[in-house]
Structure 1
Amino acid sequence: MSSPQIIAGACGYGVWPANSIEGMWGCNAAPVDGVEIDVHLTADGHVVAHHDYAIAADHSRLNGAFLEASGPLLRETTLADLKAYDLGRPKPGSSYARRYPDRPGVDGLFMPTLPELLAALELAPGPRRKLFVEIKTDPDEYRESADPVALLDAVLRDLAAAEWTADSKIIAFDWSVLRDLATKAPELETAHLTVPDAMKPKVKLLANGDSPWVDGCDARQFGGSELRAIQAHGGREWSPHISDITPERVEEAKALGLAVGVWGVATAAEIATLSDLGVEALTVSGPAWSRASQA
């Protein structure tokens, strides 16, 4: 049984600031096979890496002062204005600071563009690393996120310019993105992210009862099986949160010809358990990067 690919989630968010150049440099020196990032589109057409649709208040400063509330939506803000926010230091007393109490603050850490991250990743030693790009859109009328077609087109543009298309994988909760990609770049690797079971009750359903995330392939149409829905949607890989993994679901995925890539992995014990199940990829927060790691 081959070992799964180890992918540093959000540039190793368990060790370094998420989706950051500093995190990418750290990943370059870590024993990982690739890096995952979350991307958005600015008002002036740049692809940037950030988790939330707006500037996150719990680790953001403007003119030296921490934000009292979330900053502007990325899709409504130019790159130059977004670069004014320093994202490297947790806000004292915030949930982010409590989650990473030992993480030192970094001054002068600004939101990176996809080309900037690719330029940094290019300098990693050894075999070329994989890049997993999560397209961050919200199909609830796209009130906060960028237009999915425009964002995907900009990502494809930047990957092609850096000659990184063959070493990239596009992942998305919004399956309409993956349908669009299948017509534009069918050779590019993809994975269908699924909303964790624990969060499904919070999803605002469409009038017909379907989830808005699944692009018309709701599991209800396939005997309640998300995996059969992914297969019907043309998917190649199921990418669930670790909390949704069971041996039976992995076996079902394999029987349907789907690879399995798990996210939310944090410990060496979790890496060991999932490796033994035969999954193909693990998106790991760090600092554990293998089953033998000491976290």
Structure 2
Amino acid sequence: MIAGPIPQIVGHRGACALAPENTLTSFARGVADGADQIELDVHLTADGHVVVHHDPTVDRTAVGSGRTTGAIAELTWAELQEVELAGGERIPTIQAALDAIDVPVLIEIKALEAAGPVAHLVAEGGYAEKSIFISFKPEALAEVLRVDPGYRTGLIATETTDVQRAALAELGCGNYSLRYSGLTRDEVAHWQARGVTVTGWPTLADADVAAGLAGGVDFMTADDPAWARRTAEAALAAQPTL
């Protein structure tokens, strides 16, 4: 049974099932397809630019005849511009992404060294209202909060352990993103009762949507936001009426 209303949809790396992940095109597609929020990932270049990319290296995403290998932390911004992504896309800066996205943005901090710089950049650029900082790394969120204790934060985990419980309490996170394999209705209700919204991930198949609905999550992170919403709406419509 569905535990509550249709969750809001988070576009994972934009709409990465339909457009090259973590690109301006993917973000635009996610918003156009109805994502309530957009999730993206950040790293720091060798010369201090915060850029949007999932992996620590460009090896998986690079195509074409330009630069196809290298660690982001060891490359300059100019060198990263030599990397061609699928569809002729390029790796964007976080500023370009935040300027382009007109819904709330979940900034996942992949590299700890990016935490301070991206927190300062969000403050200086006037992006705080639309930005929510998330990470698997509690220490990255702590660094963000050192820049501004008022920033909104969220912790990501595959399962709940004492480490996650302590971090959620100590950091005052407003959101907890939990993998469906570690998510139960009781777990979701536990955090919601404490004022923490819960996000289920990854939403890739009908079974994932069913798990999110049964668990009563507030958000579902999906590679195809429009599909996730349609599937959730169809499941709700199929529920027997009392």
Offset, 1:233: 4.5
Q: Partners in 2 of 1:53 and 1:182 — Cα distance?
A: 23
> How many Å apart are 1:133 and its aligned residue?
0.3
Tell me what 1:41 maps to. Answer: 44
1:131 corresponding residue in structure 2:
105
- 1:289 correspondence with 2:228: yes
Q: CA deviation at 1:175?
A: 0.4
1:84 is matched with 82
1:268·1:288 contact (CA, 8 Å) conserved in 2?
no
In 2, Cα distance between equivalents of 1:74 and 1:187: 29
CA distance in structure 2 between the partners assigned to 1:293 and 1:41 by the alignment: 41
| Contact 1:268-1:293 at 8 Å conserved across structures | no
1:163 matched to 2:126? The reply is yes
Shift of 1:8: 0.2
Q: CA RMSD in A?
A: 2.6
Q: Supply the distance in 1 between the matched residues of 2:167 and 2:89 (Cα, whole angstroms).
A: 41
Question: Which of the residues 171, 176, 180 maps onto 2:139?
Answer: 176
Per-residue deviation at 1:229?
Answer: 5.0
Shift of 1:80: 1.0
Summarize the Cα distance change of 1:64–1:56 in structure 2 as closer, same or farther, 3 Å threshold: closer
Measured against aligned partners, the alpha-carbon deviations of 1:166-191 in whole angstroms (never above 9, x if no partner) come to 11110011101112222322222111
Deviation at 1:83, TM superposition (A): 1.1
Quote the offset at 1:293 in angstroms.
Answer: 6.8
2:182 is equivalent to residue 244 of structure 1? yes
Match of 1:75 in 2: 73
How many Å apart are 1:112 and its aligned residue?
A: 0.9
Q: Under a length normalisation based on structure 2, what TM-score does the superposition of the two structures give? A: 0.83
Q: Percent identity?
A: 26
The equivalent residue for 1:117 is 97
1:18 aligns with 2:21: yes
Name 1:92's counterpart in structure 2.
Answer: none
1:258 to 1:118, Cα distance in 2 relative to 1, 3 A = closer
CA contact (8 A) 2:116 2:143 kept: no
Which letter maps to 1:174? Answer: K
Aligned: 1:154 with 2:95: no
What secondary structure, in the 3-state scheme, does the structure 1 residue paired with 2:201 have? strand
2:105 is paired with a residue whose SS is strand
Output one character per residue of 1:224-260: Cα deviation in whole Å (capped at 9) or x when no partner: xx43552245333221112211112213223444321
Relative to total residues, which structure has the larger helix share, 1 or 2?
2
Between the aligned partners of 1:10 and 1:243, the Cα distance in structure 2 is: 21
Structure 2 residue identity aligned to 1:260: V
Query: May I ask how many residue pairs the two structures share in their alignment?
Result: 229
Amino acid at match of 1:17: P
Residue ranges of structure 1 left out of the alignment (5+ in a row): 89-105, 122-127, 138-147, 201-217, 221-225
* TM-score, with length taken from structure 1: 0.69
Tell me if structure 1 keeps the 8 A contact 2:185–2:216: no
Partners of 1:168 and 1:289 in 2: CA distance? 23
What aligned pairs does 1:196-215 form with structure 2 within 5 A after superposition? 196-197=158-159
1:5–1:163 CA distance, 2 compared to 1 (3 A): farther
Distance 1:116 1:232 in 2: 32
Q: Where does structure 2 lack aligned partners over 5 or more consecutive residues?
A: 236-242
